[in-house]
Structure 1
């Protein structure tokens, strides 16, 4: 049960407040003077303080109350404090609200206003504690991943990437094939490099081949090598990627583009570790870990007869799916700062524009956007104009696709809170969000408590 500490030298006031709070399922503690109030705070868990401003009958200056407020604020900076007084001094009220007082009410108080204030402050305090726990958990997760993995300098912050990297930490040391899926430009090659850097063959070669960048007739020669005269233009013997990767890792990008003949031979190598160069009948033995990647729908290609099902299951012992940048919005700004490398700061408007853009080209598009902004910008910081992103008619950043439904913007949130008279749970319900989601949105947009 949330607890309110009442510090007031009038027992009748304390009794009235206790009755009022008990009707709203709040527990009340009572202290008749500042010293006992501070002692109570040192020993009892308290969610909110309601304190009087005048503790001496011979003065209405409120000096003792102001001193008490500042001592509580210093010892408990996050604890909300509501000030009550029969002698309202405007200058004092303004000064203390600026110093962090949650509200300043006169006696006799309005029950509805007081309870609205108290309920919102307790709710907000609970939300802040929940957010703090979530931030702490996320930080512990990030620290744990950073301590276990060589991340190859990758910047990230989103929970979706934390889940992916947690799986990478489990998979990387095992000598098994890995299939990395996800849209173009999302960072599949970066994840492959992290898997290799944390594998048992991290000291071996890391060889890459883009299966979509070569004609079909050359893929096999690239993979398995060729003897002199094996095909037109082959004037001397050459080793293939499997030989080059022996004792290490072979990364096959765009594996969905591998032709049928190459698929069959790749399957045999995965099963036996043996292959023959083009134009040779001598088998060669290699030990290579294969990591493959694709943005294609391989199960659909299997149904269409374009990809071997047995090869798919050989490659897909473990699947690592890299989410699109739009699905990990908390990564946008850390990645932007990483790509800028301290060359120039981003203006607040530019940061918001980056966060709201849909990024159909994913991380690659973000990197290109910032490189262009650095080349073309002439100011001390990067503004919205330098980014070259599409803007709304009023010059503001366009929301990412689907963002307006999933994450209401500032105007919608503030309007909902106003209609709910500051009751955050009611505003969250109107917006179709959980309370925790609304609290995170308030924090991200920098919207103060109502």
Structure 2
């Protein structure tokens, strides 16, 4: 198979494999970086209601500045020209810093370098655009254009699936909210608490902390990689709280267009803007007496962060076009896969809002750190998929389990559930076709994700460690046998901690001297069972 054909096959696999568009964009950018000069790869959506183009997903081969939000199109005429270009399906190319016409509308002004833009279509109509920029010292060639054109159709499918999924999710949240309100009026109990696979093993520590915080009304911030089960844990907090009879409302902050955030969160009065034909309750009002789960809170634009902060401070909202404040009694549970402290330092997330939501943080472990839960999860999702698809329930074989445990699961539980769905369908009720569902991956091949000691997230409230006395330093020369690598790392870290008296962050702190991120250092010390408090004076 030629290189281009294999690359296209891999791109299609990544485009269809992930539920989250951001995961597909990041993985595809990584796949093509040796063939296509990429400084940045953006998937952008056309918002016809506000005549704007907003960024939904970013794939980059190198770090870049934040702030790739919506670009408001200046006029109806420009918008019509943009849609006319998108309807042609033709890729456009422009030199660095000389963008006009449709390229001036779809390429964010903060991006430099030569750029390519290709329309993304759904059901025949343009729904967005794929944008790629090259490094400043690299010119785009005709070969680059041909390779970029190969990406258009896979990304069109990925974007269309993304939009449909979020539309269904939005409708589900509305229906769920109305159902809970009706059950509350009728005095009937809601559904029992969702079964959490791994509650007695890989998630035991997390659920112990859930039990600690559930009965209070303090805000909870759930941190974790995409697909680790943050929503399941948020529902567990609600189900175990005094608000369990009230509504549980989930809002995906990253899926709401910037121009509609106020209306979605706080509601609006009739006639408050064009198209507001009736008054509408926002999510805060719908969640009154219950729990509001703000998923992907790191995606909120700065203006919305200010208004959210005010609600958290005084518990009053005001609808768009309204003249009277409305008091709401809502418990906030927020979640994100982003590094919020880094966003605070970059002024992309408000520091005061960070302090408000980060009262009690919970960190979700990735699935690769919970191998003992994989067999239970496989059986759980296999039984669920068989019921949904009307097929006999099939037990996974021991070989299936070995393959599943050896795989690194970059998409965590969400990816595992999708793989099991495919395996059930491919097995046609007689077996689980795990290897085909994984795209031919086996534990003899190179895993798609490399394990790392660096945490994707951090814990602001450290887990309790058993009290330890400050250890004495031992020289390898005084030992009968060579130190293991972990012992050598432990001794080196303890030596630095002793020198700085347990100080982790700031100038001349342990992280500064070791030239590592403070969160990375804390995670390493937790893994090595180093109690840094014991070194403080």
Normalising to structure 1: TM-score of the pair? Answer: 0.54
2:419 to 342, 358, 369: 369
Instruction: Tell me the CA shift for residue 345 of structure 1.
Output: 1.1
2:332 matched residue in structure 1? 290
2:407 to 357, 362, 367: 357
Instruction: Tell me the CA shift for residue 193 of structure 1.
Output: 0.6
Matched, 1:211 2:253: yes
2:239 matched residue in structure 1? 197
2:297 to 239, 252, 255: 255
Equivalent-residue separation in structure 2 for 1:152 and 1:317 (angstroms) = 25
* SS, match of residue 317 in structure 2: strand
* 1:370-412 residue CA offsets vs partner (Å, 9 max, x unmatched): 00111111363224434334435xx84655755699xxxxxxx
2:370 to 318, 328, 331: 328
Quickly say closer, same or farther: Cα 1:370–1:384, change in 2 above 3 A.
closer
Quickly say closer, same or farther: Cα 1:389–1:166, change in 2 above 3 A.
farther
Normalising to structure 2: TM-score of the pair? Answer: 0.46
Instruction: Tell me the CA shift for residue 341 of structure 1.
Output: 1.6
* Contact 1:357–1:397, Cα closer than 8 Å, also in 2: no
2:194 matched residue in structure 1? 152
* SS, match of residue 381 in structure 1: coil
The answer to which of 375-384 and 200-209 deviates more is 375-384
Equivalent-residue separation in structure 1 for 2:313 and 2:340 (angstroms) = 20
1:3 matched residue in structure 2? none
Larger Rg: 1
* Contact 1:349–1:383, Cα closer than 8 Å, also in 2: no
Equivalent-residue separation in structure 1 for 2:486 and 2:352 (angstroms) = 45
1:271 matched residue in structure 2? 313
Equivalent-residue separation in structure 2 for 1:166 and 1:304 (angstroms) = 33
* Contact 1:175–1:289, Cα closer than 8 Å, also in 2: yes
* 1:48-93 residue CA offsets vs partner (Å, 9 max, x unmatched): xxxxxxxxxxxxxxxxxxxxxxxxxxxxxxxxxxxxxxxxxxxxxx
* 1:118-164 residue CA offsets vs partner (Å, 9 max, x unmatched): xxxxxxxxxxxxxxxxxxxxxxxxxxxxxxxx861111167441111
Matched, 1:387 2:437: yes
The residue correspondences of 1:31-180 to structure 2 (distance < 5 A) are 152-156=194-198, 159-180=201-222
Instruction: Tell me the CA shift for residue 232 of structure 1.
Output: 2.1
Instruction: Tell me the CA shift for residue 364 of structure 1.
Output: 0.4
Which aligned segments of 4 or more residues in structure 1 are displaced greater than 6 angstroms? 429-433
The residue correspondences of 1:401-412 to structure 2 (distance < 5 A) are 401-402=449-450
* Contact 2:288–2:328, Cα closer than 8 Å, also in 1: yes
TM-align CA RMSD: 2.9
Equivalent-residue separation in structure 2 for 1:400 and 1:329 (angstroms) = 17
The answer to which of 229-238 and 209-218 deviates more is 229-238
* SS, match of residue 208 in structure 1: strand
* SS, match of residue 293 in structure 2: strand
1:89 matched residue in structure 2? none
* Contact 2:267–2:283, Cα closer than 8 Å, also in 1: yes
Equivalent-residue separation in structure 1 for 2:326 and 2:428 (angstroms) = 58
Structure 1: gaps of 5 or more residues: 1-149, 406-428, 434-450
How many residue pairs match? The answer is: 263
* Contact 2:202–2:372, Cα closer than 8 Å, also in 1: no
The residue correspondences of 1:219-258 to structure 2 (distance < 5 A) are 219-258=261-300
* SS, match of residue 341 in structure 1: helix
1:341 matched residue in structure 2? 383
Which of the pair has the greater relative contact order for Cα pairs under 8 Å at 6+ separation?
1
Matched, 1:314 2:356: yes
* 1:405-428 residue CA offsets vs partner (Å, 9 max, x unmatched): 9xxxxxxxxxxxxxxxxxxxxxxx
* Contact 2:410–2:449, Cα closer than 8 Å, also in 1: no
The answer to which of 346-355 and 381-390 deviates more is 381-390
Equivalent-residue separation in structure 1 for 2:452 and 2:274 (angstroms) = 57
Quickly say closer, same or farther: Cα 1:260–1:384, change in 2 above 3 A.
closer
2:510 matched residue in structure 1? none
